[in-house]
């Protein structure tokens, strides 16, 4: 059966809501594997290497259970932080974990954000677009509410990742489909935005044995600076773009 874009998004949202109800969070953020901790840390690090969020109004689109939103808030000291996600159970969990932190979480679709133009200084999207049936509309909406965006997406050039997406039950259930970096670049440029940063990062898979995770982490810095190796082996591609 062929899924429409709307049904694809509904199916993905349902899968993430189920994750929260079953695991009290997303599998990528709640498990105690060393590999997941290393992978998550690297992705947050590379975001902060690419953009300075201090004293800026930040929108986290696709915030999920809030794990990455909290990390950016605590490490980057933005002026304000707002997280949005279409998965209501995830937003409820993030809100409950907020404590006394100065941030807000809102349930809404990423393609229809309830904000005026330029309500934020920068929009952050980590692992969002490859779950959506309408990624172009979401990119356009992000550039409407913020003049600058940072995108962290699975590296669609990585052949191992393409196999995982095809055969992993988790990836199939969550409708994961990584895009080639060149495809993302084309979408952004078609909207009249300019790309200021392009990076490949991360080598450690979220779910792998501890020995392998430690070994891959040792060679990760070398792979990230080696042109052909990084484009085929790195886990994610990072893009910073600004409206012209």
Q: What is the pLDDT of residue 197?
A: 98
Three-point CA angle 237, 60, 106, nearest 5° = 145
3-state secondary structure of 1: coil
The residues facing 104 across adjacent strands are 82
Beta carbons of 46 and 71 less than 8 angstroms apart: no
pLDDT per residue, tens digit, the chain (244 aa), is 333 344 445 666 776 666 666 666 665 666 678 988 999 999 999 999 999 999 999 999 999 989 999 999 999 999 999 999 998 999 999 999 998 888 999 999 999 999 999 999 999 999 999 888 899 999 999 999 999 999 999 999 998 887 877 766 666 565 678 899 999 999 999 999 999 999 999 999 888 899 999 999 999 999 999 999 999 999 999 999 999 8
3-state secondary structure of 201: strand
Domain boundaries, the chain: 5-243
Q: What is the pLDDT of residue 75?
A: 97
C-beta pairs of 220-228 under 8 Å, 24+ apart in sequence: 220/42, 224/200
What is the Cα–Cα distance from 16 to 155, expressed in whole angstroms?
21
Strands 122-126 and 236-243: unpaired
Strand order from edge to edge, sheet including 236-243: 104-107, 80-85, 57-61, 122-126, 148-154, 236-243, 193-201
Q: What is the pLDDT of residue 11?
A: 61
Q: What is the pLDDT of residue 4?
A: 36
Q: What is the pLDDT of residue 2?
A: 34
Q: What is the pLDDT of residue 194?
A: 98
Can you say how many angstroms the Cα of residue 239 is from the centroid of all Cα atoms in its chain? 11
3-state secondary structure of 106: strand
Strand ranges for 86-161 from DSSP E: 104-107, 122-126, 148-154
E strand or H helix that includes residue 139: helix 135-145
The residues facing 60 across adjacent strands are 83, 124
Q: What is the pLDDT of residue 22?
A: 66
Q: Which CATH architecture has domain 5-243?
A: 3-Layer(aba) Sandwich (3.40)
């Amino acid at each position: 059966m062929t899924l429409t874009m709307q049904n694809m998004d509904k199916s993905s949202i349902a899968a993430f809501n189920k994750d929260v109800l079953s695991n009290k969070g997303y599998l990528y953020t709640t498990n105690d594997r060393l590999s997941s901790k290393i992978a998550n840390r690297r992705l947050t690090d590379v975001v902060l290497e690419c953009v300075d969020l201090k004293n800026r109004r930040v929108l986290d689109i696709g915030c999920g259970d809030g794990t990455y939103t909290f990390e950016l808030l605590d490490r980057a000291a933005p002026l304000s932080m707002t997280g949005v996600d279409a998965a209501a159970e995830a937003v409820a969990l993030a809100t409950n974990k907020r404590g006394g932190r100065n941030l807000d979480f809102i349930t809404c679709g990423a393609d229809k954000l309830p904000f005026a133009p330029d309500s934020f200084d920068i929009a952050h999207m980590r692992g969002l677009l490859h779950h959506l049936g309408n990624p172009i509309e979401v990119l356009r909406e992000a550039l409407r509410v913020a003049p600058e965006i940072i995108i962290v997406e699975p590296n669609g050039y990585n052949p191992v990742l393409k196999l995982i997406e095809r055969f992993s039950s988790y990836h199939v259930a969550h409708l994961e489909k990584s895009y080639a970096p060149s495809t993302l670049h084309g979408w952004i440029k078609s909207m009249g935005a300019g790309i200021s940063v392009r990076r490949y990062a991360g080598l450690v898979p979220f779910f792998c044995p501890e020995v392998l995770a430690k070994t891959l982490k040792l060679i990760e810095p070398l792979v990230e600076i080696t042109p052909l190796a990084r484009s085929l082996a790195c886990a994610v591609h990072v893009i910073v773009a600004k409206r012209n």
